[in-house]
A and B are shown apart, each in its own frame.
Chain A
Amino acid sequence: MNPFTATALALTLAGPALAAQPPAPDEGADPALIVRGDYLARAGDCVACHTAKGGKPFAGGLPMETPIGTLYSTNITPDKTGIGEYRFEDFDKAVRHGIAKGGGTLYPAMPYPSYARVSDEDMRALYAYFMHGVEPVAQENRDSDIPWPLSMRWPLAFWRWTFAPKVEAFVPAPGQDPVVARGAYLVEGLGHCGACHTPRAFTMQEKSLDAGDGDAFLSGSAPLEGWIAKNLRGDHTDGLGSWSEAQLVAFLKTGRSERSAVFGGMSDVVVHSMQYLRDDDLLAIARYLKSLPARNPQDTPHAYDRQVADALWKGDDSRPGAALYLDNCAACHRTDGQGYARVFPALAGNPVVQTEDPSSLISLVLKGGTLPATHQAPSTFTMPAFGWRLSDQQVAEVVSFIRGSWGNRGAAVSARDVERLRDDDSAHTSGDDIGQVTDHSGG
């Protein structure tokens, strides 16, 4: 499991000698600047990583497991245990340069390689917000559980010198549509979409940081905790080729579109970040993403194949996985794989079910998923878990059936693929699963 493909966790070093520093000069609490900073902090989704489950906003403490030990995100509230004594320059060093106050290098889970292209004006606004718009919380940062010698920070500086880009103003390409340019600024910069959606090299850096840097950019990642961050390029099979700009905007704003629903790690991104963005910024993001060409030069649009739907309609469930599909999936996703608009996602042609790595679809079948409530679309649809009632072989059959029906072009999966993704929760039948009367009020 690759830790740096997680939604980027910002992990700053606790500076060793804070007391000697003069207090942060007041930048002036210009209300408009604070409001803008609040908006930009939403766009950067700072809250996602800098807030522990059930914790105070931005007070840090969210654990993140890595192969070398657990790290904890830091307090970025304006308390002295947080960044209360940071001057603008300290703040800027951390966010855009990856250098903590005190000089240590941040773990690159903090997406400073992306933030490097945030503009000076936006940095000022973010600083104003974090100093004046966020409630200070006294909460000491927690040291990582990484054992020595891996806990030594100095080698990270070499990583930073090698892979972090120079901090410089974002310049649109000549002749670039200003809407696309705005989208590029948000996606490549504050949005740090590549932190999850761009594959990483062996040395953990994102293989590409912008659209001009090869076709690896936003071409999808390896799985983390059972989910992959999908290809966002123009590919029809597993990318956004079949999505319209309007569908993409609706998806980011409400977590759902005519044919899709958000799940996995992206749910939090929609809930904490994307739904707060203005329509013009969402449109810019969508138009920019739609400008990325397919990675696969042989990419072709999905061609619907009626064969499976016709067979099911006639009661022929002889194809492997077909009977399982009818019993477990068809009520919502339908025998023709088209689902129901905005409610139950279509499976026919859905890029999520055709990814080369089938982890996401397998995990969905095993664990289910709940569509999060958003301000514009408050309904929370839940796909129930099926891990408790289907064997690895059955899950493999039904997932293979979905990946290969209605013109879909995903490869078959094996029971072994399913077994790897089971965790304790989906390995056993619980009382609820067999209809026991359980009080779910939970106090």
Chain B
Amino acid sequence: MANAMKKADVVIVGFGWTGAIMAKELTEAGLQVVALERGPMRDTYPDGSYPQVIDELTYSIRKKLFQDLSRETVTIRHGLDDVALPNRQLGAFLPGDGVGGAGLHWSGVHFRVDPVELRLRSHYEERYGKGFIPDGMTIQDFGVSYEELEPYFDFAEKVFGTSGQAWTVKGETVGQGSGGNPFAPDRSDHFPLPSQKNTYSAQLFQQAAAAVGYHPYNLPSANTSGPYTNPYGVQMGPCNFCGFCSGYVCYMYSKASPNLNILPALRQAPNFELRPNSHVLRVNLDSSGSRATGVTYVDAQGREVEQPADIVILGAFQFHNVRLMLLSGIGKPYDPKTGDGVVGRNFAYQNMATIKAYFDQDVHTNPFIGAGGNGVAVDDFNADNFDHGPHGFVGGSPFWVNQAGTRPIGGISNPPGTPAWGSAWKRATAENYTHHLSMDAHGAHQSYRDNYLDLDPTYKDAYGQPLLRMTFDWKDNDIRMNQFMVGKVRRIAEAMNPKALAILGKQPGDRFNTQSYQTTHLNGGAIMGSDPKTSAVNRYLQSWDVHNVFVPGASAFPQGLGYNPTGLVAALTYWAARAIREQYLKNPGPLVQA
């Protein structure tokens, strides 16, 4: 028998970016909000205390901030006929754990979205014809436009303290020659902080990209270019390019996180409560199955606790949102054979390629400095900024040098052909470390009929509940896009006149490898859209089936973006929160009629 807590107006599952944003918005609306975070309390102090946090072994190798797979993991298989096995060691992706979630250990690349990607299927059909999109590719429109989201992108950047250079503000060009991106959509305001300074590696990329005719710009970064106070009165310190961003707690108070940018303001709100070490098992529904009554969780002492609430926000990591919906019976599970059902549908990822360039001893790239969101990029091949017609694939990719910190264990990189150990390896490492740089093609990834999520029939977590099963593999479209992008990045790389290149891209026949880090940008499974037959949540991230359940996060993306997802995740969450505040509270019920 579960202990029942006092009823709250809102219960939030997970305290990362989406949980924190929802908590702030809904406490501002006067609601009593309880946030449940399965992991421990974390904050800049003591978790990011200097110099203890500058410890690659503890954080990157032993994965201090990431999900504890001994309690819960996912099973993975390549195809419908395979048997999925539990992922027992994190590799390809790194979901967070604890207060702040992935928002505490992210890098800080803070993009908006290319407007085309919000209406990807419509755009491709209009420009290239319906036949251009291959069979089995299930990309679709988000059901919300860039213009609608613009105020929320703007506000999120102000909350995050994002550094960057606008191209146009209210139609007026302001970013020419100063690091703006000519492919970026119009903005209502400047970034709250100017761009960070560029590393030498980024400057080399900038010169080379311009030399081959592309349009380099400064990456928008949620690492501060100076001290900052956000609209909540919360302060940030200045980034000092220490290079310990992704996987770490920022000790300089300069990488935006829910802990740094929102939690201090929430602590001043008497109608907010955060309960760490509270692992939610399921959303409870009433007898009709159309209304949530709250959630049941396991507390730090292992007791089952029921938290009743009028509104349930699923703000966990992408695949945990999907799993909770499946475990709770919210929405119809997706069946890849018939194409029916929505929960688990359109699971998509990122399509990465990396090129490393090695230089002579007179080119000093000093890769030990870095900032997670910092760098120079080009968008000439992102989204639909080029004619896909002759190339026959869907999707685009920004390219960049994002010198995020090249640490002593994971950051060693030598030219192809270098022995992997011994004195020759040591000599090469000493010769190359401070004279190399790394470039990425951060490719969009499309959704397909048979890349999906469901509950595993065999394996269970520490609480006896089925694990989530991930059925995923690379498709022909992905490989061909990846190879095309590598070719374009290679032009930039060669324009730098390196002594050697290492190319890490996909080859025909490559399968998804769980051991090789791609990104933690997992998308879909509880996607948003205009049609309840093909989406799990409506344009306000409200469940079509259980109207008092909202599901913000990248789980709502119908396919993967070229850009990093956090900026869109944050904007969509503010957008959904506004709909709850201005529409749902006045008239609780479906905000969109099916």
- A344 and B44 CA atoms in complex are apart in Å by 15
Q: Which residues of A contact B300 (CB under 8 A)?
A: 441, 443
Given contacts A332-B252, A437-B64, A441-B40, contact A373 B237 (CB under 8 A): no
| A313 interface contact, C-beta 8 A | no
The residue in chain B whose Cβ has the minimal distance to the Cβ of A381 is B253
- A276 and B527 CA atoms in complex are apart in Å by 47
Q: Are B268 and A440 neighbours in the complex by a CB distance under 8 Å? A: no
Q: Which residues of B contact A213 (CB under 8 A)?
A: none
Q: Are A331 and B264 neighbours in the complex by a CB distance under 8 Å? A: no
Which stretch (A61-69, A335-343, A404-412) binds chain B?
Answer: A335-343
Q: Select one of B40, B45, B236 contacting A439, CB under 8 A.
A: B40
| B235 interface contact, C-beta 8 A | yes
- A361 and B52 CA atoms in complex are apart in Å by 22
Q: Are B227 and A437 neighbours in the complex by a CB distance under 8 Å? A: no
| A426 interface contact, C-beta 8 A | no
Q: Are A378 and B252 neighbours in the complex by a CB distance under 8 Å? A: no
| A415 interface contact, C-beta 8 A | no
The residue in chain B whose Cβ has the minimal distance to the Cβ of A327 is B51
Q: Which residues of B contact A340 (CB under 8 A)?
A: 226-227, 237-238
- A443 and B232 CA atoms in complex are apart in Å by 28
The residue in chain B whose Cβ has the minimal distance to the Cβ of A330 is B240
| B46 interface contact, C-beta 8 A | yes
The residue in chain A whose Cβ has the minimal distance to the Cβ of B235 is A379
Chain A, range 422-443, C-beta contacts under 8 Å to B: 432-435, 437, 439-443
Chain B, range 210-238, C-beta contacts under 8 Å to A: 226-227, 229, 232-238
Q: Which residues of B contact A342 (CB under 8 A)?
A: 227, 229, 235
Q: Are B268 and A375 neighbours in the complex by a CB distance under 8 Å? A: yes
- A441 and B299 CA atoms in complex are apart in Å by 12
Given contacts A375-B268, A379-B234, A442-B41, contact A432 B49 (CB under 8 A): yes
Q: Mark B352-384, 1 if CB is under 8 A from A, else 0.
A: 000000000000000000000000000000000
- A382 and B46 CA atoms in complex are apart in Å by 9
- A147 and B330 CA atoms in complex are apart in Å by 70
- A439 and B46 CA atoms in complex are apart in Å by 10
Q: Are B44 and A382 neighbours in the complex by a CB distance under 8 Å? A: yes
**How far apart are B196's CB and chain A's nearest CB, in angstroms?**
15
Q: Which residues of A contact B494 (CB under 8 A)?
A: none
Q: Are B229 and A435 neighbours in the complex by a CB distance under 8 Å? A: no
Given contacts A340-B227, A373-B264, A433-B52, contact A440 B47 (CB under 8 A): yes
Q: Are B237 and A332 neighbours in the complex by a CB distance under 8 Å? A: yes
The residue in chain B whose Cβ has the minimal distance to the Cβ of A344 is B237
- A377 and B40 CA atoms in complex are apart in Å by 25
Q: Which residues of A contact B46 (CB under 8 A)?
A: 382, 432, 440
- A389 and B52 CA atoms in complex are apart in Å by 11
Q: Are A441 and B41 neighbours in the complex by a CB distance under 8 Å? A: yes
| B426 interface contact, C-beta 8 A | no
Q: Are A378 and B49 neighbours in the complex by a CB distance under 8 Å? A: no
The residue in chain A whose Cβ has the minimal distance to the Cβ of B228 is A343
Q: Select one of A379, A381, A435 contacting B58, CB under 8 A.
A: A435
- A206 and B352 CA atoms in complex are apart in Å by 71
Q: Select one of A378, A434, A435 contacting B232, CB under 8 A.
A: A378
| A376 interface contact, C-beta 8 A | yes
- A370 and B51 CA atoms in complex are apart in Å by 16
**How far apart are A368's CB and chain B's nearest CB, in angstroms?**
9
| B242 interface contact, C-beta 8 A | yes
Q: Are B267 and A343 neighbours in the complex by a CB distance under 8 Å? A: no
| Interface size, A (range) | 20 to 34
| A380 interface contact, C-beta 8 A | yes
Q: Which residues of B contact A382 (CB under 8 A)?
A: 44-46, 49
**How far apart are B589's CB and chain A's nearest CB, in angstroms?**
35
Q: Which residues of B contact A379 (CB under 8 A)?
A: 233-235, 253, 260, 264
Q: Select one of A377, A434, A439 contacting B235, CB under 8 A.
A: A377
Q: Are B237 and A384 neighbours in the complex by a CB distance under 8 Å? A: no
Q: Which residues of B contact A434 (CB under 8 A)?
A: 52
Q: Are B42 and A440 neighbours in the complex by a CB distance under 8 Å? A: yes
Chain A, range 351-388, C-beta contacts under 8 Å to B: 370, 373, 375-382, 384
- A360 and B47 CA atoms in complex are apart in Å by 25
Q: Mark A209-246, 1 if CB is under 8 A from B, else 0.
A: 00000000000000000000000000000000000000
The residue in chain A whose Cβ has the minimal distance to the Cβ of B234 is A379
Q: Are A343 and B235 neighbours in the complex by a CB distance under 8 Å? A: yes
Q: Are A378 and B264 neighbours in the complex by a CB distance under 8 Å? A: yes
- A348 and B149 CA atoms in complex are apart in Å by 45
The residue in chain B whose Cβ has the minimal distance to the Cβ of A254 is B233
Q: Select one of B58, B238, B264, B277 contacting A380, CB under 8 A.
A: B264
Q: Which residues of A contact B235 (CB under 8 A)?
A: 342-343, 377, 379, 381
Q: Are A373 and B238 neighbours in the complex by a CB distance under 8 Å? A: no
Q: Which residues of A contact B53 (CB under 8 A)?
A: 435
Q: Which residues of A contact B52 (CB under 8 A)?
A: 432-435
**How far apart are B265's CB and chain A's nearest CB, in angstroms?**
5
The residue in chain A whose Cβ has the minimal distance to the Cβ of B301 is A443
- A376 and B232 CA atoms in complex are apart in Å by 9
Q: Which residues of A contact B260 (CB under 8 A)?
A: 379
The residue in chain A whose Cβ has the minimal distance to the Cβ of B275 is A441
**How far apart are B20's CB and chain A's nearest CB, in angstroms?**
14
The residue in chain B whose Cβ has the minimal distance to the Cβ of A443 is B300
Q: Which residues of A contact B28 (CB under 8 A)?
A: none
The residue in chain A whose Cβ has the minimal distance to the Cβ of B55 is A435
Q: Are B253 and A378 neighbours in the complex by a CB distance under 8 Å? A: no
Q: Which residues of B contact A343 (CB under 8 A)?
A: 227, 235-238, 253
- A160 and B236 CA atoms in complex are apart in Å by 50
Q: Which residues of B contact A344 (CB under 8 A)?
A: 237
| B553 interface contact, C-beta 8 A | no
- A332 and B51 CA atoms in complex are apart in Å by 12
Q: Are B277 and A441 neighbours in the complex by a CB distance under 8 Å? A: yes
Q: Which residues of B contact A443 (CB under 8 A)?
A: 300
**How far apart are A367's CB and chain B's nearest CB, in angstroms?**
13
- A382 and B240 CA atoms in complex are apart in Å by 17
Q: Which residues of B contact A332 (CB under 8 A)?
A: 237, 252
| B50 interface contact, C-beta 8 A | yes
**How far apart are B3's CB and chain A's nearest CB, in angstroms?**
16
Q: Which residues of A contact B242 (CB under 8 A)?
A: 331
| B276 interface contact, C-beta 8 A | yes
- A373 and B264 CA atoms in complex are apart in Å by 8
- A378 and B229 CA atoms in complex are apart in Å by 11
Question: Which residue, of A343, A373, A432, A439, has the highest number of chain B Cβ atoms within 10 A?
Answer: A343
Given contacts A331-B240, A332-B237, contact A378 B268 (CB under 8 A): yes
Q: Which residues of A contact B41 (CB under 8 A)?
A: 440-442
- A380 and B264 CA atoms in complex are apart in Å by 8
- A317 and B199 CA atoms in complex are apart in Å by 25
5 pairs from A and B in contact (CB 8 Å cutoff): A340-B237, A343-B236, A378-B232, A384-B251, A434-B52
Question: Nearest 7 A-B pairs (CB), nearest first?
Answer: A382-B45, A378-B264, A379-B235, A441-B41, A441-B40, A343-B227, A384-B49
Additional A-B contact list (17), CB under 8 Å, known A378-B264, A379-B235, A384-B45: A328-B51, A331-B50, A331-B242, A332-B252, A340-B237, A343-B227, A373-B267, A376-B233, A378-B233, A378-B268, A381-B253, A432-B52, A435-B53, A440-B40, A440-B47, A441-B276, A442-B41
B contact set with A: CB distance below 8 Å: 40-42, 44-47, 49-53, 55, 58, 62, 64, 226-227, 229, 232-238, 240, 242, 251-253, 260, 264-265, 267-268, 276-277, 300
